[in-house]
Amino acid sequence: MTGPHPRRDEARLSAWVHGHVQGVGFRWWTRSRALELGLTGFASNRPDGRVHVVAQGSREACEKLLELLRSGETPGTVDNVIADWNEPDAPMTGFSER
């Protein structure tokens, strides 16, 4: 095997957030929480009204971000969050709003 091996506690969270989450500061809020948790990635508005959140870092921090997304304390109204877990992908820097 060649190439870098991800640490066992590293993860990549892909979360699709459904609800009234565009135009309400949701991506900014998500970015702030992710940076506080030491995660990299992005929050992106999708044409269908969802926000796609991709976060990479420690599994524990990703799980905490997912908890926050589902907490009911976000801007706007979150109806549902569909989460998918993967191994970390190519390194990302910072956390951007797209």
Annotated active-site residue in 27, 31, 33, 50? 27
Please report which helix (H) or strand (E) contains residue 16, including its range.
Answer: strand 10-20
| Rounded Cα distance, 46 and 52, in Å | 7
Asked about 45 being catalytic, the answer comes back as yes
- Alpha helix stretches (DSSP H) within the chain: 26-36, 59-69
| Rounded Cα distance, 56 and 59, in Å | 8
Asked about 50 being catalytic, the answer comes back as no
Annotated active-site residue in 8, 12, 31, 45? 45
- As annotated, the active-site residues are 27, 45
